[in-house]
Amino acid sequence: MHDRCPFVSNVKGQDPHLGASLALSSTFAPRCVMSPAQAAEGGSVSAEDRIRLFGVPLGEIGREASASFRHAWPLVLGYVGHNLLGVVDTAMVGRLGATELAGVSIGNGLYFTASVAAMGLVAGLDPIVSQAVGAGEGARVRAAFRSGLRLALAISGPAILAICLVPFLLPLVGVSDAITAIARDFLWARAPGALPFIVMMGIRSLLQARAVTKPLMWGSVLANVLNIVLNVLLIFGDASLERLGLPGIGLPALGVVGSGIASTVATCGQLAVVAIAYRRLPVLDGGGDTDVPMRKIASLGLPISMTLLAEVGAFTVAGVFAGRIGPEAGSGHQVAIQLASLTFTVSMAIANSTSVRVGQAVGRRDMRGMRVSGWVGFAMSTVYMTFTSIAFLVFAEPLARVMTDRADVIVVAVPLVHIAAAFQLFDGLQVVGSGSLRGLGDTKSVQYANVFGYYAIGLPVAGVLAFGLDWREQGLWWGLCAGLCVVAVLVLGRWAHLSRRTIERT
């Protein structure tokens, strides 16, 4: 049936990389539905299409889930791989001591707060590019991408400066001088990595919109290989070689500074892989409006940036307060947050895939396909997060032992991992909801939901429980859990409302 559909033929002719992804999504376009004449020529309706779930043929849901999975799984590995950079830093530095681990915990949180806020501005590319690809407007795709790269370069400098200056604020919130010094040293070594990270996010928008996602996976693989090797060599110096029975070569043990340098170099390697993939992309045919100034991308990206800043900032503030409670509390928070972040990256990849497929459907003016893509994304994330929640409940202690061998830190981390199990499902719903709304071009409502959920509900509740009722670090996490649940409900409700309407292109 696809061969008789002019839409699919045109798309395949414009960009062979879109292949199965857009061909499958075109199944949902009304003009490609099998007509009686086609059925008379030998077509038939499958048994799966006769069974309906919430009014949608089961076969249609299955095809969308299959297409979404093929688009998402390299993104999953890519995001998990990128998150593993922080996990490796934590695991390596955790061998140095609780104070060092607490300092790197705060440092990593502050680094990602600044870098993802800048990344959010560049993410304004996502709905523009995905909708243009869905509409077959190659010229608009190229114009938007060029503006996005210029924006990425422009904001990288301020982001690096912010990362370098923010450690001076830590004593003002009660963080000890020892932990502050470690966080500062780590951040100054890690800060240059913000430039390749932000630029890479711009290229990511284009690659995933054109269904070329495997380079993102391979970039993460290379980054992790570099990060592991360099962490071992630079943190421990010649001692790491001697443990392997190799002679020393004069490498100093740089400690947390070595960990920051390793992550920066690894991010540069990741950028190199995705940049090569971009250079090898075939030209996408088609025209479209090429007036896509940086301010348009920034206007869409600013709410995304504020959303990311609200979420990451809330957990970073919790990390700072955990460090104020004590080194063991700060270290236990870092262990739990790294495990929760690792599972979250899978749902984030599903969310990005959902955002692209929703945006492509909007570009094709296929409202039915848009709705199916969004709800299938919610379903995939819900199933996955249910399993991770069970894993956190059952295997909390073994998972914590992977991150650190210090008994005092493990005792603190295990209850926090149990609390993380409680909000896994809501975490998956809110991130996929954010991605679905981004595909529609609606970024402001997600911003409002996150700011309200975390700062009107989450952090105030966390403060009362942690310090008012003396629940300490567990109170911080229960407060964050409450805020996350509110965000998920608000975002899901917004998607349910908008997905019933006809959406205009961004």
Q: Please write the tens of the pLDDT for every residue from 34-74.
A: 433 333 334 455 555 566 555 566 666 667 777 777 777 78
pLDDT of residue 59: 63
Q: Checking phi first, is residue 288 left (phi over 0); if not, alpha (psi -120 to 50) or beta?
A: left
Write the CA distances from 497 to 119, 432, 433, 437, integer angstroms. 28, 15, 12, 11
Q: Residue 52 has what pLDDT? A: 56
Q: How far is CA 312 from the centre of its chain?
A: 11
Task: Render pLDDT for 384-432 as a digit per residue (tens, 0 to 9).
Answer: 999 999 999 999 999 988 877 788 889 999 999 999 998 888 999 999 9
Distance CA 301, CA 145 (A): 14
* Residues above pLDDT 90, as percent of the chain: 33
- Whose structure tokens read 């301020």? 158
| Helix (H/G/I), strand (E/B), else coil: 52 | strand
Is the separation of the CB atoms in 428 and 347 below 8 Å?
yes
The whole-number pLDDT of residue 9 equals: 32
**How far, CA to CA in Å, does 413 sit from each of 65, 333, 403, 409?**
35, 6, 10, 6
Please enumerate in sequence order all residues whose Cβ is within 8 A of that of 100, keeping only pairs 6 or more positions apart, or say none: 93, 94, 182, 255, 256
Q: What is the pLDDT of residue 5?
A: 37
Return the axis-axis angle of helices 294-325 and 138-165, rounded to nearest 10°. Answer: 30
206-219 as b/e: b if 16+ CB within 10 A: bbbbbbbbebbbbb
How high is the pLDDT of residue 20? Answer: 37
Low-confidence ranges of the chain (pLDDT < 70): 1-62
Note if the pTM is more than 0.85: no
Q: Give the CA angle between residues 288, 123, 197 to the nearest 5°.
A: 125
- DSSP secondary-structure letter at 468? I
Of 419, 232, 234, 405, nearest to 331 by C-alpha is 405
Count other Cβ atoms within 10 Å, centred on residue 247: 7
**Whether 198 contacts 267, CB under 8 Å:** no
Looking at residue 449, its pLDDT comes to 94
Q: Are the beta carbons of 31 and 339 closer than 8 angstroms?
A: no
Q: Please return the burial class of 116, using the count of CB atoms within 10 Å of its CB with bins 0-12, 13-18 and 19+.
A: buried
pLDDT at position 317 is 85
Amino acid 40: pLDDT = 39
At residue 115, φ and ψ (nearest 5 deg) are -70, -40
Q: What is the distance between the alpha carbons of residues 62 and 386, in angstroms, rounded to a whole number? A: 20
Are 256 and 231 in contact by the 8 Å Cβ rule? The answer is: no
Which tokens is 398 given? 């073994």
